[in-house]
A and B are shown apart, each in its own frame.
Chain A
């Protein structure tokens, strides 16, 4: 199956700093990627849809100036958490839409654990 990677897998930062998380589709091109966050013992919540070459579409309640998304190439989307605060601590997961089959399957990255002190 298709592989999606995320980097870093874990990051600890001080309050007020910005953190960038990368999501890469390793063996396929993805015009659409998605970013989710997951709190402990909760389900994944979609944050935004990232489209290559255009602005991301954010879900209701997600601050676009807080969570900057850039999808500059067909294999890379980045999520930057700006001026991170402890309440931004969460598990961030990306997925990439693969259109190679009869159905556009979605493949998930392994996630990035962000801890803001």
Chain B
């Protein structure tokens, strides 16, 4: 069956350090992989999308890598700030008839300490 695993339920780091979150998937052939941020009691907010033919994507302090051989995506936040504290969700997205249907990983709760 299809499975999405995000490393550690919780990640605690010091302000200024780089946070690295991992998303591993099995029995998927995603055409895209998305990362979302969710704050408590709120809906997810889209952060980045990376396509299967892209190895790396950057947006300001965020960087995403996508290794279809390892079936893994890494999400990095550089120069982390307390305001980055949130739950981060990955969602592989298949093409074809499943287009648009998102299945989320369980999320990683990131806490950035001042």
Q: Write the residues of chain A forming the contact surface with B, with a CB cutoff of 8 angstroms.
A: 1, 4, 6, 32, 34, 42-44, 46, 49, 91, 93, 95, 97, 103-111, 113
Contacts and interface: CB of A to CB of B under 8 A. Distances in A.
Nearest to A103: B49
Contacts of A1: 46
Given A42-B106, A43-B106, A103-B32, A49 B101 contact: yes
Interface of B: 32, 36, 41-46, 49, 89, 99-107
Contacts of A97: 100
A62 B20 CA distance: 35
A58 B32 CA distance: 23
Nearest to A45: B104
A107 B107 CA distance: 18
Nearest to A49: B101
A42 B6 CA distance: 12
A6 B43 CA distance: 10
A32 B97 CA distance: 13
A34 B44 contact: no
Nearest to B98: A49
A95 B101 contact: no
A44 to B, nearest CB: 5
A34 B93 CA distance: 14
B100 A108 contact: no
Contacts of A95: 43, 102
Contacts of B100: 32, 34, 49, 97, 104, 106
Nearest to A111: B43
Contact of A107 (B46, B99, B106): B46
Given A44-B89, A103-B49, A108 B99 contact: no
A109 B104 CA distance: 16
Given A34-B101, A49-B101, A103-B49, A108 B43 contact: yes
